[in-house]
Amino acid sequence: MKKLIVLILVLALLIPSAVFAADGDSPFFGKWSGVEHHAITHFNNILHFMEITKYKTCEYFVFNLFSGGGMGQGKLDSTEIYSGKWEIVDDHLRIPTSAITFVEVFYDPETDTLYTDDPKVTYVRLP
């Protein structure tokens, strides 16, 4: 009977730690920012921001920026903001950018950056 109690106590302590260990630490997690490459628009820069958490949530922002104007004044034209849950697809993540669209995000371990092909953006990790 004592062995059974000891076994139950050991299992009760190991199972929660195994659940936390399965969570892991992915290189995708964190805050990322990037500038869209070769944007064919009337904006000077299109900035993208993502925050990916280990709890399957993500935030996605797009800022359309004008620069210049009188006395070097800049202007923020429009923004897109979307919160959702990321999904794992093969070796990359799928981040929702609206209720019906996604962006495929890949990790480059050599440079510690994320990148997407459509739109073409390279993301760097923010502190």
Rounded CA separation 90/56 (Å): 16
Given a cut of 70, whether residue 104 has pLDDT beyond it is yes
pLDDT tens for residues 37-68? 865 555 578 889 999 998 889 999 998 887 76
Sign of the alpha-carbon torsion through 85, 87, 127, 78? negative
Residues of the chain above pLDDT 90, percent = 40
Sign of the alpha-carbon torsion through 102, 108, 111, 117? negative
Rounded CA separation 96/86 (Å): 7
Q: What is the mean pLDDT of residues 97-119?
A: 91
Q: Nearest 5°: CA angle at 118, between 116 and 119?
A: 85
Q: What pLDDT, on the 0 to 100 scale, is given for residue 10? A: 54
The answer to whether 115 touches 108, Cβ cutoff 8 Å, is yes
Give the pTM: 0.72
Q: What is the mean pLDDT of residues 85-93?
A: 89
Q: What pLDDT, on the 0 to 100 scale, is given for residue 21? A: 33
Residue 106 in 3-state DSSP? strand
Q: What pLDDT, on the 0 to 100 scale, is given for residue 22? A: 36
Cα–Cα distances in angstroms (integers) from residue 12 to residues 5, 7, 16, 98, 117, in the given order: 10, 8, 7, 41, 46
Domains of the chain are 25-126 (2.40.128)
Element containing residue 9 per DSSP (H, E): helix 2-23
